[in-house]
Structure 1
Amino acid sequence: MVKMLIDGALVDTARHMDVIDPSDESRVAQVPDAGTAEVDQAVAAAKKAYPAWRDATPEARGAVLVAMAQVVTDNLDELCQLLVQETGRPLGLAQFEIAHLAAGYLNYYAGLRIAPEILVEDDTRRVEQHRKPLGIVAAVVPWNAPVYIACNKIAPALAAGNTIVVKTAPSTPLTTLRLGELWQDVVPAGVVNILSGGNEAGAHLVSHPDVAKITFTGSTGTGRKIMEAASPTLKRVTLELGGNDAAIVLPDADVKAIAPAIFAFAFFNSGQVCAIIKRLYVHDSLYDAMCAEIAAYATGSKVAGGRDPEAQFGPVQNKAQYDKVLDYLASARASGTIIAGGELPDGRGYFVPLTVVRDVKEGDVIVDEEPFGPILPIIRYTDIDDVVARANASPYALGGSIWSNDAEAAAKIALRLESGSVWVNQHCALDPAVPFPANKQSGSGVEGGLEGLYPYTALQILNIAKPQAA
């Protein structure tokens, strides 16, 4: 059984949680179920380790991050197999998350440096701008991309000079805990602490008085609760929450040319990504053709457990989300016309076929809300100004995209969208060097790039008066 990493030691608990394979609903492992005592131990360890880590040179901290990334790479096969077990996703997708995203973000932040800036220099004074670490960071990680998102929080926190306590999602703790075990010998004790546990551990961690910052990825509802928990001590908070990303296909687009990419960006990880296409708006002149193309791709794809070498898409990750997706499937059936998928397979596992629904509109649940599963509504429009207004009417504003043969014209329309990220002829193009902000109820703050390092720091201004001649 894998254990938690606290203060450089591997720690078990009296309570344990089951890890379920969503492909067949079997138990694949048991992991520790941390409570308030383990959270207190982890925070105390992070607090003890903080002064030395804060005072280490950026080069020394970067070297540790590089070593952490190398551990990821050296143990890729084992980590991918664990991720396949707990998520059910195909092996190729597990490899992409761990080798490309997790290791990539660790290496990227290992090389970032924040140098002091001279704001004013004259005969009377010198004013310097410095960025200092905050202290202890609490990172709460979701179940849909557990290793990538953990590393996307660990990397900037450590690069800035903070120490961190990571709380994994209850249904996907296995791979991240194992990574903590592998990091035991390369990370100074207490700098990184990784816990598994449920709501008790999460609630205690985000409200802990010694935590200076919370970084959370998950639902908007939970994000609101975290903001409340942070308020008594005014903790810094970065929230990357739900999305209902709109993609708009302009009338000059080549349907056959763009349909494969739109399909891929709509159903990536079986729809379980916050910043993929959730609403596809297609001009009336292309509507029928686009519906037919997307439906054909969905019908021709294989949904199966990750151990099946032919699997292209996996199951919904957990039972609670599976039940929610089934409710959205019923709503899609009631409000529109299902042209692919829609019928559940026999047998065990949380499998939902890739489902495409047309003839829907705003006001339908499947359009207004985020299924976070493999269901794509395709909505008709005729006027550009109208469709931009409809896309912006959502309370969510994480990402959006415009698809056209004229990239420059599309870019002008893209800038009218209110989402934090806008793409042209692509979607969810994540890059560690590119900031990824969240607007409206999709969150607050920014991740990625140098802008994603700043929220892990406190701004300090040093203002020095120069001696004046008598």
Structure 2
Amino acid sequence: MSSQETVSANEGTAVLDVDRRLLIDGKLVTTEQTFASINPATGEILGYAPNAGVAEAEAAIAAARKAFDTTSWATDVEFRIKCLDQLHQAMLDNLEEFRALTIAEVGATYLNTQGNQLEAPIGIIRYYADLLRTYPLTEQLGEVDIKGQKHNRWIEKEAAGVVSAIIAYNYPNQLAFAKLIPSLAAGCTIVLKGAPDTPLITLALGELIANHTDIPAGVVNVLSSSDVETGKIMTTHPDVDVVTFTGSTPVGASIMAAASASLKKVFLELGGKSALIVLEDADFGTVAQFAAFSICSNTGQGCALTTRLLVPRAHHDEIVAKVAGMMAHVPVGDPTNPKIYMGPLISEKQRDKVDGLVQRAVEAGATLVTGGTRIDPGYFYTPTLLANVHPDSEIAQEEVFGPVLAVIPFDDDDHAVEIANNSKYGLSGGVLGADDDRAIAIGRRIRTGTFSVNGGNYFTPDVPFGGYKQSGIGREMGTAGLEEFLQTKAFATVVK
């Protein structure tokens, strides 16, 4: 199927239970006010979510504070492991319900739910439950002689406290698990707020926790809200110890500023404008397939996707033609269809933003090779390729969050590195070439937190994920992801 063909988004749609509730202090509750969640493949209302306000946010924070201060959650490692094991099994048992809801609310394709949208993130739960079984929460430093007395020293890792976690819409399961699971493993309590565009899937997680695990009341609280004041309370409340946010860089900066008044621990996963460097000895057919399908993954709504394609100037036109040809074969349409690779953008607002960036890029001198058109109904946008892009232009500098690939020519390895680093972001990147050693050497010069060499996949639960510069602060997943939610306490006693 070509990218110009679509399958009706009404075919094969599962019947969903979308009557979702907030989880506050162990109780599933609703609110008088609600807001709509839209199916991006049809533009129709999927369901309604409770619109938590300041009162609900304060109640959730109070519940989390009480659970942290008065229960054994923070100190009972074995019980935490048991609860994580229960949650892992509950996700496996309810996989198809979560798949249908993720497809309907996120616009994720069935194919994508088999990977990073759903099935792969469930592995995060398994990873941290197992890590907690072996992670050293105590470290002996041994004895030291100070002024004629021996002193024994050791370090203990303990839970950081109450966590406020705010996630984005593009991968709601992945983002929720990457914050929720390591915080629980560390012994923290948490208030988790889903994105306004995808509230139902996060609320479903809260209901699963309430109904299928022994996690005590108040340890996990789950909110949905379209009220900005709710988010403000979560990032400024004096009873919150840690704030973690995934979303845009401007919002992340404002959250960091707000949290600074009480010196909260903050870590942020923000935007990206990653570069994929193609060396002259690469297989251009492989390059075309990799680049075209990567930018169309999750409809380009991924902060770590390589959205700039850096190519040798002498091979610019050849590579552009191959990528354009491959884009024509990306199946676009009904995300419930297992044969479809790319679904819709999340909203009409996002589609307008993407289209505006494309149109301005053409006005600024870029060549529109293919794409750049809307597909209705729903919020579909054709895979788009822009050639002859200037490295300083808006389309080369600003995060698009859509299926738009900008091709930029370079002269030599040094020039490619210079262009790749010419960004306020530093989240990811990649190199494709015949010589791994040369590719790795180039990768080491790129200022990013993750990097792929010849298609290598770093995105697994045991690998820390995060960026340099304005792509964020801190790391999610891996041992580093657990340690974001821990404090280090040093002890010493006099040896008698």
Question: What TM-score range do you get, normalising by the shorter chain?
Answer: over 0.9
- Tell me the distance in 2 between the aligned counterparts of 1:260 and 1:62: 42
1:63 Cα deviation (Å)? 1.7
CA distance in 2, matches of 1:140, 1:417: 29
Cα 1:374–1:428, aligned 2, differ >3 Å: closer, same or farther?
farther
Deviation at 1:160, TM superposition (A): 0.4
Amino acid at match of 1:315: P
Structure 1 residue 320 displacement after superposition: 2.3
Partner residue in 2 for 1:174: 200
Pick closer, same or farther for the CA change 1:428–1:26 going to 2, 3 Å: farther
Deviation at 1:285, TM superposition (A): 3.4
The match for 1:285 is: 314
Q: Which moved more, 1:285-294 or 1:197-206?
A: 285-294
Deviations 1:394-450 (A, max 9, x none): 110011111111111111111000111122112663111011131101111111111
Cα deviation, residue 174, structure 1: 0.8
Are 1:54 and 1:133, in contact at CA under 8 Å, matched by a contact in 2?
Answer: no
Q: C-alpha displacement at 1:363, in angstroms?
A: 2.3
Structure 2 match to 1:325: 354
Following TM superposition, by how much is the alpha carbon of 1:161 offset from its aligned partner in structure 2, in angstroms? 0.5
Q: How does 1:269-308 map to 2 (within 5 A)?
A: 269-308=298-337
Q: Distance in 2 between matches of 1:374 and 1:183?
A: 35
Deviation string 1:125-144 (CA, Å, 9 cap, x unpaired) is 22111111111000001000
| Cα distance between partner residues in 2 of 1:415 and 1:26 | 46
Cα distance change of structure 1 residues 160 and 48 upon mapping to structure 2, 3 Å threshold: same
Which of 103, 109, 116 is the matching residue for 1:90?
A: 109
When the two chains are superposed, the root-mean-square deviation of aligned CA atoms in Å is 1.5
The whole-number CA distance in structure 2 between the counterparts of 1:456 and 1:115 is 12
Aligned equivalent of 1:340, options 370, 375, 380: 370
CA separation of 1:40/1:233 partners in 2, compared to 1, >3 Å: closer, same or farther? Answer: same
Corresponding residue number in structure 2 for 1:80: 99
Whether the 8 Å contact between 1:244 and 1:370 is mirrored in structure 2 is: yes
Which range moves more in the overlay, 355-364 or 335-344?
335-344
Give the Cα separation in 2 of the matches to 1:23 and 1:220: 27
Q: Which amino acid aligns with 1:448?
A: M
Shift of 1:200: 2.1
Q: Which is worse superposed, 147-156 or 318-327? A: 318-327
CA distance in 1, matches of 2:354, 2:136: 44
Asked whether the 8 Å contact 1:255–1:286 carries over to 2, the reply is no
On the 8 A contact 1:248/1:403 being kept in 2, the answer is yes
C-alpha displacement of 1:309: 4.3
Say which of 171, 176, 188 aligns to 2:216: 188
1:240-268 Cα distance to aligned partner (Å, 9 max, x none): 00000011111111111333223232221
Q: Is the 8 A contact 2:165 2:192 kept in 1?
A: yes
Q: CA deviation at 1:57?
A: 2.6
Q: Which residue of 1 aligns with 2:141?
A: 119
CA 427–342 in structure 1, closer or farther in 2 if over 3 Å, else same: farther
Contact in 1 for aligned 2:451/2:458 (Cα 8 Å): no
Q: Given that residues 219 and 241 in structure 1 are in contact (C-alpha distance below 8 angstroms), is that contact kept between their aligned partners in structure 2?
A: yes
* Paired residue secondary structure (1:117): strand
1: CA distance between counterparts of 2:349 and 2:242?
29
Following TM superposition, by how much is the alpha carbon of 1:53 offset from its aligned partner in structure 2, in angstroms?
A: 4.3
1:67 aligned onto 2:75: no
Q: Would you say 1:24 and 2:42 are equivalent positions? A: yes
Q: How does 1:198-213 map to 2 (within 5 A)?
A: 198=226, 199-213=228-242
1:168-206, Cα deviation, whole Å (9 max, x unpaired): 100101111112112213022111111000212111111
Give the TM-score normalised by the residue count of structure 2. 0.91
Secondary structure of 1:260 counterpart:
helix
Tell me which amino acid in the other structure corresponds to 2:353.
K
**1:148 aligns to what SS in structure 2?**
helix
Which residue of structure 2 aligns with residue 432 of structure 1?
461
Residues 268, 427 of structure 1: alpha-carbon distance in 2 compared, 3 angstrom cutoff? farther
Asked if structure 1 preserves the Cα contact closer than 8 Å seen for 2:61 and 2:191, the reply is yes
SS at match of 1:96: coil
Residue 357 in structure 1 maps to residue 386 in structure 2? yes
CA distance in structure 1 between the partners assigned to 2:339 and 2:439 by the alignment? 36
Identical-pair percentage: 38
SS of equivalent to 1:447: coil
Q: Does 1:141 align with 2:167?
A: yes
SS of the residue 1:13 aligns to:
coil
Answer whether contact 1:301 1:312 (CA < 8 A) is retained.
yes
Q: Which amino acid aligns with 1:75?
A: N
Contact 1:53/1:61 (<8 A) preserved: no
Encode CA deviations 1:26-58: one digit per residue, 9 max, x unaligned: 001001000011001111111121142444432
SS at match of 2:343: coil
> Partners of 1:83 and 1:414 in 2: how far apart?
34
- 2-structure distance, mates of 1:58, 1:433: 20
Partner residue in 1 for 2:7: none
Cα distance in 1 for partners of 2:377, 2:405 equals 24
1:152 deviates by 0.7
CA distance in 2, matches of 1:114, 1:162: 17
Could you tell me whether the CA contact under 8 Å between 2:118 and 2:174 is conserved in 1? Answer: no
Q: Which residue of 1 aligns with 2:13?
A: none
Counterpart residue number, 1:409: 438
Distance 2:443 2:405 in 1: 21
Does the residue aligned with 2:85 lie in a helix, a strand or coil?
Answer: helix
Alignment match, 2:252: 223
Over 4 Å off, 4+ runs: none
Unpaired stretches in structure 1, ≥5 consecutive residues: none
* Equivalent residues of 2:306, 2:429 under 8 A apart: yes
The range that moved more, 201-210 or 111-120, is: 111-120
Residues 283-292 or 218-227, more deviating: 283-292
Deviates more, 1:212-221 or 1:300-309: 300-309
Quote the offset at 1:98 in angstroms: 5.2
Match of 2:265 in 1: 236
- Distance (whole Å) between structure 2 residues aligned to residue 73 and residue 178 of structure 1: 14
TM-score of the superposition, structure 1-length normalised? 0.96
Find the residue that maps to 1:320 and give its secondary structure. helix
